A and B are shown apart, each in its own frame.
Chain A
Amino acid sequence: MSLLIDDSSPIFVQIAERIENDIIEGLLPEETQVPSTNQFASFYQINPATAAKGVNLLVDQGILYKKRGIGMFVTEGARDKLMEKRRERFFEQYVITMVNEAKKLGITIEQLTEMIRKGGNA
């Protein structure tokens, strides 16, 4: 994934997704501190209020929590919670899209299944 923030969807959503990815990939283990709003702002060259909005989105979802006077930390169990959410989205985002494209190209479900098996072995 590219480091650059693009301008096509709300930036706070993109910031929240970056943090989610880091948690899923283990770069931000549970109970570790996440960078401050100002660090996000200067790293991605974005408005600090926008960065704060992205962080707060994850606080509202219980993925991050605030230690008073210190900063934001990753909640225990955050990774499992995120994996669950991403799996649900996987079907919508990838499977449905793939099946539609396959239909357009005249690929049958059997052929598609075969392709997936082949892809898994690659």
Chain B
Amino acid sequence: MNRVLEINRLTKSYGEAVALNNISFSLEEGKIYGLLGRNGAGKTTLMHIITAQLFATSGEVKVFGENPYENDRVLSQVCFIKESQKYPEFYRIKDVLVISKDIFPNWDAEYALQLVHDFNLPINRKIKKLSRGMLSAVGIIIGLASRAPLTFFDEPYLGLDAVARTIFYDRLLEDYAEHPRTVVLSTHLIDEVSKLLEHVIVIDNGKMLVNEDAETLRGQAITITGPAAKVEEFSRGKKIIQREGFGGLVSVTVLGNLSLPEQKQAQVTGLELAPVSLQQLIVRLTTDNNERKAA
């Protein structure tokens, strides 16, 4: 697989504050990635550095094998849809679409118009008169119709209703199937997008926490519930990421798969096993980390 992005020991600090701490990872061609983490984890800073809008304090960033800074050849292949994109004061939606054609070599004007129709946008209205949801839809249209080989969506659904979000997921999958490319969805709304993702990167407090195949993560944790003594005995030697007590019952979440004999043993001893969703897993991992730090 070709790598479209390589990041090596990247650090960004603002004086004492460290926004990104020694991050390394790479993105492969033609995959949909999730860049997940809590608010303020460093996701947007990371995307700003990748798209050459911020300088790293140290470390290396290679986009399509090259340094992205003042590199038009590379930057024309990258589309970054920001959460709060600013447009010139008097631009209408129409004007944004015209400008996009000059910025993105793969721009599909016909497809963009189709999307304007799908999202039911008033094409002659000025950008500054649009609602938050409409503004998000404009960003989504640019992100999809630009067909950039590397596309970032930073929290693309602010203010979008459920119908519009579903349109976004549908169109993204459709267009991705026809024009495979690398897409990065950055969000803290994990449940809704988790099914779309092939690979998941989780950043927590500026550090890389998870860099794993989405399907591998889905089977990775399990919650065991039952009488305290039995749960303790069963989960001994396992990596516990969360523990909760409720009356005489204890519920622990452990990392790793249970073998078939273990599952049977749990059943016989009357323990309840429940799978953990991607969102729950990430919530548990990121909460756990911060608490440990505070302790």
Chain A residues engaging chain B, CB cutoff 8 angstroms: 5-12, 38, 41-42, 44-50, 53, 92, 96-97, 100, 104
CA distance A50 to B218 in the complex (A): 12
| A-chain residues with CB within 8 Å of residue B212 when the two chains form the complex | none
* Docked-complex contact B177 and A41, CB < 8 angstroms: yes
Interface of A is mostly: helix
Complex Cα spacing A96 to B274, Å? 18
Taking the closest CB of chain B, its distance from the CB of A40, in whole angstroms, is: 10
- Taking Cβ atoms with an 8 Å cutoff, the residues of B that contact A are 31-32, 166, 169-170, 173-174, 176-177, 191, 194-198, 214-215, 218-219, 264, 267-268, 270, 274-279
Q: Tell me whether A11 and B218 are in contact (CB under 8 A).
A: yes
Interface CB pairs A-B, < 8 A, 14: A7-B277, A7-B279, A11-B195, A38-B177, A42-B170, A44-B195, A45-B170, A45-B195, A45-B196, A47-B197, A48-B173, A49-B198, A50-B214, A53-B215
6 additional contacts, CB 8 Å, given A41-B173, A50-B214, A100-B270?
A7-B195, A42-B174, A53-B215, A92-B264, A96-B264, A104-B270
- Cross-chain contact A42 with B177 (CB below 8 angstroms): yes
Q: Which residue of A lies closest to B274 (CB)?
A: A8
- Output the nearest chain B residue to A44 by Cβ-Cβ distance: B195
Select from chain B the residue with minimum beta-carbon distance to A7. Answer: B277
Give Cα A49 to B196, complex, Å: 10
Give Cα A6 to B275, complex, Å: 11
CB-nearest residue of chain B relative to A45? B169
Contact A8 B277 (CB under 8 A): yes
Cα distance A104–B269 in the bound complex, in angstroms: 11
* Interchain CB contact under 8 A, B219 and A10: yes
Bound form: Cα–Cα A112–B161 in Å: 51
User: Are A7 and B196 neighbours in the complex by a CB distance under 8 Å?
Assistant: no
A residues within 8 A CB of B270?
A: 100, 104
Q: How far is the CB of B264 from chain A (nearest CB, A)?
A: 8
Instruction: Report whether A9 and B177 are in contact in the complex, using a CB–CB cutoff of 8 Å.
Output: no
Q: Which residues from chain B contact A46 at a C-beta distance below 8 Å? A: 173, 195-196
Q: In the complex, which residues of chain B have a beta carbon less than 8 angstroms from the beta carbon of A44?
A: 195
Q: Are B218 and A49 in contact (CB under 8 A)?
A: no
User: Separation in Å of the B200 CB from the closest CB of chain A?
Assistant: 11
Task: Please indicate the chain A residues that have their CB under 8 angstroms from the CB of B219 in the complex.
Answer: 9-10
Interface contact A5-B218, CB-CB below 8 Å: no
- Measured CB to CB, the closest approach of chain B to A16, in angstroms, equals 12
Alpha-carbon distance A92/B267, docked complex (angstroms): 10
Instruction: Report whether B173 and A100 are in contact in the complex, using a CB–CB cutoff of 8 Å.
Output: no
Residue pair B198, A10 in contact (C-beta under 8 Å): no
Q: What's the nearest-Cβ distance from chain B to residue A72, in Å?
A: 16
Known contacts A8-B276, A100-B267; decide if A50 and B191 are in contact (CB<8 Å).
Answer: no
| Known pairs A47-B195, A47-B198, A53-B215; A7 contacts B176 (CB<8 A) | no
Residues of A within 8 A of B218 (CB): 7-11
Give chain B residues whose Cβ lies under 8 Å from the Cβ of A41: 173, 177
State which of A5, A9, A11, A92 has its C-beta within 8 Å of the C-beta of B275. Answer: A9
The answer to whether B267 touches A42 (Cβ under 8 A) is no
Chain A nearest CB from B181 CB (Å) reads: 12
A50 to B278, CA, bound (A): 15
- In the complex the two chains form, what is the Cα distance from A21 to B277 in whole Å? 23
- For B277, the chain A residues whose CB sits under 8 A away are 6-8
Q: Are B198 and A96 in contact (CB under 8 A)?
A: no
Complex Cα–Cα for A58 and B275 (A): 23
Q: Which residues of B contact A42 (CB under 8 A)?
A: 170, 173-174, 177
Which residue of chain A has its CB nearest to the CB of B219?
Answer: A10
**Shortest Cβ distance from residue B285 to the other chain A in the assembled complex, whole angstroms:** 15
Q: Are B198 and A100 in contact (CB under 8 A)?
A: no
**Complexed CA–CA distance, A100 and B271 (Å):** 11
Q: A10 contacts B215, CB within 8 Å?
A: yes
A92 to B268, CA, bound (A): 12
Q: A47-B32, A48-B177, A100-B270 are in contact. Are A7 and B194 (CB under 8 A)?
A: yes
